[in-house]
Amino acid sequence: MESSGAKILFLAEVTDRERELRIEQEKWGGPTSEIEFACYQSAYKWVGKKYDLVIADEIHDSLTKEYSKFYANNQVKHIIGLSATVDAHAEVETEDPDEYFTKGELLKEIAPVCFTYGLDEGQKDGTSRKLDVYVINHKLDMHNKNIEAGNAKKRFYQTEWGAYNYKDAQFRKALFAPDAIRQFRIRVTSAARAKLLYNLPSKVKAVKELVEGLTGRTIIFGNSLEALERVTPDVISSRNTDKINEQIRNDFEDKKLNLIAAFKKLKQGANLSDLDNCVIMSYYSKEKDLIQRIGRLRDNGEIGRIFIFVTFGSQEVKWFDSMFENVDSLNMINCNGVADCLKKLS
């Protein structure tokens, strides 16, 4: 492909996106030298630069008071912003308590949304990989007392069921706290309840059982690095050095590994070869997180398999319902536990 002479900048949340995009450029015969790469953490400091085109990957990551300075302090003829979804109503943090605006308002100033394409559209028109979603019903352990509770002076152990019901009761109590402390109490008790669900020993055991029974190449996503590390040592994490993360990625690409796990670092845009399975161990209620995670299964002509654990009688049921609220085109397969799921696969 001949050089266009245009000055192009590709902005991303992390610089390791450059490696993947260079590979894509070579794959499709695109220019390999005229695109400049930078991360939002660096570009917001620039002043007076000029570009014909800026491609803002995961543009929602630049919708902060600091990072959005790039668009105001530099000259850009055209912007292409890419995002799975933008929380348009989220407030942009500022130092001035009287200054209030949302990410949606900021995005309108930078690059207004002109085209929306969702998960359902991709499934219906065949532009994204066809997926089977196995919903695995999980239960809180009511027998084994393996959840530490109490304080430093007096430790004791509870069952998962007992610990969850206590934390859920604390959350509900916070809803009726005095105005001055209500929001603080809600945040604290909600986080404690979520942390318990992210780290359930019974779910770690169930995920291990599942991945041992799966064939093909698998990635596991979860909201707790500790829980993921109890399933596999090969977890790509911000706690690791770049060298360790790159080694895990390379070993997976070279098929020395067929199982890896991640919390956030592989959600956005990572190209992983020949994935067959995506196991979602724990999650939030946002469709964005669902799209980011299942999006790792790139289309290879075969049906991809998603496995999502839902802990009955817990907040996870509501998170699951909210996550799939606007999605109706996926083939959902309900499973009564891991054994039933593996049976339905065979």
Determine the CATH number of domain 120-140+201-345: 3.40.50.300
User: 147-175, pLDDT tens digit by residue?
Assistant: 999 888 889 999 999 999 999 999 999 99
Q: How far apart are CA 40 and CA 45, in angstroms?
A: 9
Reported pTM: 0.79
Provide Rg for the chain, Cα atoms: 22
Whether the per-residue pLDDT at 12 is higher than 90: the answer is no
Residue 27 contacts by C-beta under 8 Å, 6 or more apart in sequence? none
Q: What local confidence, expressed as pLDDT, does residue 85 receive?
A: 67
User: 117-141, pLDDT tens digit by residue?
Assistant: 777 788 888 888 889 999 999 999 9
Cβ neighbourhood burial of 159 (10 Å; 0-12, 13-18, 19+): middle
| Contact predicate 120/328, CB 8 Å | yes
Multiple choice CATH, 8-116, 3.20.20.70, 3.40.50.620, 3.40.50.300, 3.40.50.970: 3.40.50.300
User: Alpha helix (H) ranges present in 199-298?
Assistant: 201-213, 225-231, 242-253, 287-294
Secondary structure letter of residue 84 according to DSSP: S
Same fold, 8-116 and 120-140+201-345: yes
User: 266-294, pLDDT tens digit by residue?
Assistant: 655 566 778 899 999 999 888 777 877 88
Q: Where are the domains of the chain?
A: 8-116, 120-140+201-345, 155-198
Secondary structure letter of residue 334 according to DSSP: E
Backbone angles phi, psi at 230, to 5 degrees: -80, -15
| Contact predicate 345/307, CB 8 Å | no
